Structure 1
Amino acid sequence: MLINNQVKIIFLFVLFSIPVPAIVFLIFGDIAGGISLLVFLFLSYILYRYSGKILLRWYRAEKVASLENISKKAEISPPDMYLFDHPLPLIFTVGTGGRYAVALSSEAMDMFDKSELEILFAHEIGHIKNGDVQLNTIVALFAGSFAAVSTLALWGALFMGFGQNYDPAPRFIRFFSMGLVAPPAALVAQLLVACSREHVADETAVELTGNSQMLVESLERLKHQVDLNQVGVNPGHAHMFPLNVLHVTELYDIHLLLFNTHPSLESRSNRLKEASKKI
């Protein structure tokens, strides 16, 4: 799985790095094409090396501690723990090159008790142990950047005097721009991120904590809170969270259907019940 994920990462960066240098080569010749290729390779290295930090800055997350205990059980290096403000109870893990960070929203910190947080952290540790995080991070950077274009279009419309963000004109502009960027952004997520990774992370969490029921209950509580507070998140980041946090409430949100890479909570609950019998 880890080797396959590395191949996917290389494929994504090749896809990013080749087109522009190829065009420059055809128009301006060998030297210009070679220089542009070197520039894009350097940019690819920077994006790979710092993608986790970029996403943490995206959410204005701040480091508060390290996850020592649960990491010791999993026999991995402890990731750093970050906190960020958000009205939804979110948790995600980012990082590349063996350095990882688990980010927790302020709402999740307030909502879950110590035992529930421990098992949610165990789920994230499962993603680290199973080699999911590097690919998740790179996909979130690319797909999230594509998806952010629609938000930029909305703000551009507002600054140009098209009214408020709930008025028809700016919403249509956002809908139109999202229609352009959603297919490639969602295609990146759907092709590269496997929904089975959540099942494996769930099973790892149960192995580390021995409590499948609490994981199911914590995920159900998280889903209930997300359903009650349908706050928008960048759809290109949706695969990083423990379950699907995207909601289609009207036609303007129809593109969000393309970004769901999570198995149903019911299927995960059934798998966890089976896994708990083996412990």
Structure 2
Amino acid sequence: MGIFLFLIMNLAVMASIYLTIFLIEIFFGIRLDQGTISGLLILSFVVGFSGALISLFMSKWMAKMSMGVQVIETPQDQTEAWLVSTVERLAKEAGIGMPEVGIFDGPPNAFATGWSKNDSLVAVSTSLFDLMDEKEIEGVLAHEISHIKHGDMVTMTLLQGVLNTFVFFISRLLANILAPKDEEGNPSPMYYMMISFALEILLTVFATMLAMWFSRYREYKADEGAVKLDGPEGIYYALAKLGQIPKEQVALSSDMKAFGIVGFLDLFSSHPPIEKRLEHIKKVAKEMGYSV
């Protein structure tokens, strides 16, 4: 299933790139020639944002398929009824449209995704109910609702699009300068591709570090949002419990880590260390008149 979804995503990206280039050439008369700065810049923009935007618009469908999320249409038991009603209440307090609510089998975690504040999905793993009480799960839900309220999925998409554009443009611009030239001044195709590919890898490392720094920043903001929506106790004690579990046992799949409540904790992590998040929650709670 993972390979199938990967192929669909890549085919969709490639189709959107060729379609966009075709429409630009037809309607605007602009030929995207990589030999010119303007042509390379526009092509970089198209390539850079195509994948990011398609990922955003397909995010709910991809999440449901890759994580095996079962959307709760009609609650089948008291737990599902509580989950839906809690999300509904928090969404109303946050001023967003009611998200789809789903559950999935997996490690104790939760995530939110979707292309807009009024067309989103909040999903919780079944094992989270075994680990936490209702107040703690409510704190987790408040955190995910805060992500949606702040438009974090859209913001991350725009940032990723800018970074993709930068990587594509700079790598090919430098490759055009550094590659050996023939008698007519044209770069050697083989060396051009080798240099641009190597530069893409190098620049992607730095771009990923920047994207993950912003992702960690938005986790702090989502924790703040959870405190404002639901008070500090739920999110604080939920994170404290998750911090006692080995990180490899709570991480989501690689394509969903940035949207979860907790992830791997390193330089390229989408989430800050839980200890620092707990300290931040205490600080925010104190400023708002709470005590934890």
Measured against the shorter chain, the TM-score band is: 0.5 to 0.7
Alignment correspondent of 1:155: none
Deviation for aligned residue 1:237: 3.1
1:51 and 2:70 aligned: no
CA distance in 1, matches of 2:67, 2:220: 26
CA distance in 1, matches of 2:17, 2:205: 19
Match runs of 1:33-112 below 5 Å? 46-64=54-72, 66=84, 67-86=87-106, 88-98=107-117, 99-112=119-132
Deviation for aligned residue 1:25: 5.8
Extract unaligned runs of 5+ from structure 2: 1-12, 22-31, 36-44, 74-83, 161-199
Distance 1:116 1:137, change over 3 A: farther
Deviation for aligned residue 1:243: 2.3
Alignment correspondent of 2:168: none
- For 1:195-236, what per-residue CA distance to the aligned partner results, in whole angstroms no more than 9, with x for missing partners? 2211111111111112x1332221021122344x63774334
CA distance in 2, matches of 1:56, 1:139: 24
Native 8 Å contact 1:80 1:100 kept in 2 = yes
Q: Percent identity?
A: 26
| TM-score normalised according to structure 2 size | 0.57
1:271 and 2:271 aligned: no
Native 8 Å contact 1:94 1:137 kept in 2 = no
Deviation for aligned residue 1:49: 2.2
CA distance in 2, matches of 1:190, 1:17: 26
Q: Aligned match of 2:259 in 237, 240, 247?
A: 240
Q: Which amino acid aligns with 2:57?
A: R
- Paired residues, number: 207
Extract unaligned runs of 5+ from structure 1: 1-12, 28-36, 141-180, 247-256
Q: Which amino acid aligns with 1:109?
A: F
Deviation for aligned residue 1:54: 1.3
1:224 aligned counterpart, secondary structure: coil
Name the larger-Rg structure: 2
CA distance in 1, matches of 2:241, 2:130: 13
Q: Which amino acid aligns with 1:122?
A: A
| TM-score normalised according to structure 1 size | 0.59
Q: Aligned match of 1:118 in 138, 152, 156?
A: 138
Match runs of 1:156-195 below 5 Å? 187-193=206-212, 194=214, 195=216
Q: Aligned match of 1:206 in 227, 234, 238?
A: 227
- For 1:77-132, what per-residue CA distance to the aligned partner results, in whole angstroms no more than 9, with x for missing partners? 1211111111x101111100331101111211322221111111001111111121
CA distance in 2, matches of 1:59, 1:85: 8
Native 8 Å contact 1:85 1:106 kept in 2 = yes
